[in-house]
Every structure is written in structure tokens, then in C-alpha cells.
Amino acid sequence: MASVLEQLGSMTTLVADTGEVAAVRRLKPVDCTTNPSLVLAALKDPAAEALVAREIEAGKAKGLSAEQICDTLTVAVGAELSTLVPGRVSTEVDAVLSFDTEASVARARAIVADYAARGIGKEHILIKLAATWEGIRAAEILQKEGVDCNLTLLFAMAQAVACAEAGVFLISPFVGRITDWYKKAEGVEGYAPEQDPGVLSVRAIYDYYKSNGIQTVVMGASFRNAGQIKALAGCDRLTISPKLLDEMAAEEAELPRALSPENASGVPARTLTEAQFRWELNADAMATEKLAEGIRAFDKDHKALIKVIADRL
């Protein structure tokens, strides 16, 4: 019998949620991602040491600041990863820009230009932005320029609806973080996959998109266990940590398909004004708290990465 991972890969595009070169080489996913959090982890990867040292020395020779080298290093790791996967590498716009549309667009263009200078075309990358109103507007501009975007930190249907209206290429609803919030709020140890709030959230978004012929890719993210992943088998894409990929590769069991476009319920499409978007997000305590928390955490890791580079300079 084929492993659970092989069966999953036959119905869902698998993305490695890691910036570690060695892990990507071993797991051979279609796509992968990089951001300050993952680059921080990659700094501990011996396989990336030569790349890191080279990038820091090059930046030092050009008189770049630690913050500027942080930007180039993130792209350098992404460029290395792009040689190992047939699909896309997601690269994140600085979290501190999450509420500034113009600055987000400018940073995204700089990322695209840096990749181009390294011989990597925009068809091989995704620009990752937080799914704030401003981030979604930045994505709308970039999509019209032919730059595909990945909207992350997505916790609510309002965010998914707005992303669809903006013509975003891909969204990353965060399964595990939604579950974490509800476990704490409801004082429970966990949920069966069919009752898991994070799983149900992604299923609802997937159903909305497929019911309305929306082309935006749904990529479930932030998983806490393999059960959550299996409950979303058939989702367009799933981004999974090396640990969980390995766990499913070692498991042999029948994996039924959980999601399929043919089973869409036919829920009608809707539109959202900025005021409606902000109100719906505000009315959802979980989404409001997890979005803010996620932006702060990404910014913290960005600053930590800058400090590591500054110390090495």
C-alpha cells in the first residue's frame, strides 16, 4: 500500500513549510516557503552555512546594513530553494509593513528585482503578505503587474472573500492557530478532526471558492498534527512541516479524499466594502487576536534575524 503521504500527494499539491535546504532536498515538495522565522531556523542548518556566510560577506563588502543584508539573505535562501523545487518559493514582505499598502508594494517589487538579479523569474516566486485590508490591496496591485501573491495569516471568511475579490493567486488559512485559540477559549485538550475549528474554517473557505468558481488557490497551513492534514485531503495545496511530512511518509493506511470541487454546496458569492471587512474581522475575536499576534511574531523574528546578522558583522 502507498504511504499516506504518497496518497495525499496524488490529490493535493504538497508544500514544505521550511527554509532548510537539506529538508527540501530530502522531501522533494512541489513548492516551499521562506520568511524571517524560517531563515532563522535555516541558520542552524549546516547545509546553508556557506550560503549565509557568502551573503553576509557580500553585503558587508557593499556597505549594506544588517537590515539590508537580512532582506538579501531571505531572497538568497529562497533562490537556493527555487533550484530544488519545480514550483514556487513564497517570500515574505516585512511584517512591519502590514498596514502600509504603498510600502508593501515597493518592498515586493524589490524582492522580485532581487530574485531577477539572481536569475529567478517571477513565475517561480510568490510574494507573501499578511491578509490585512492594506495587504490585500497591495496584492491586488501586484497581481495586476503579473506578480502572484500568497496572503498569509488568514483566519476569517471575511479575509478569504476580500482576497478572492482582489484576484489573489493563493491564500494560506492557518489551521493550527485557529485550533489553538479555540482550545484555550473552550478549555479543551483537543478536537477530533471532523470537529476541529481550524479544519472547519478551511473547509468553509474551500467550499465558498469552489461554489463560485473562484480561481484563488486554497493552501491550508500551520498544522498541529497529521489528523488535521488528513481531514483536508484534496485541498488545493497544503504546506506542511518536515516532521509531519516524515510522519505521514512512514504511515501506511487508506486516505479518503475529504475535499473535492464536485461536492461544493453552492453557497452564493458576496462582496465586501472596507468598512464591512473591518467590521466582520473585528466581530471575530479569534481572527482579530490571531492576526495581530501573528504580525507581531513575524516582526519579532525579523528583528531577531537582523540582530543575528549584526552580531556576525
Catalytic residues: 128
C-alpha–C-alpha distance, residues 272 and 161, integer Å = 7
SS3 state at 73 = helix
Which H helix or E strand runs over 212?
none
Ordered alpha helix ranges (H), 156-284: 157-165, 175-186, 197-211, 226-230, 242-249, 274-283
What letter represents residue 284's amino acid?
A: D
- What's the grid cell of residue 216? 484563488
Cβ atoms of 232 and 204 closer than 8 Å: no
| 222 φ/ψ sector (left φ>0, alpha ψ -120 to 50, else beta) | left
C-alpha–C-alpha distance, residues 248 and 170, integer Å = 24
User: CB within 8 A of 259, min separation 6: which ones?
Assistant: 203, 206, 232, 233, 234, 235
C-alpha–C-alpha distance, residues 177 and 287, integer Å = 10
Which H helix or E strand runs over 21?
helix 21-27
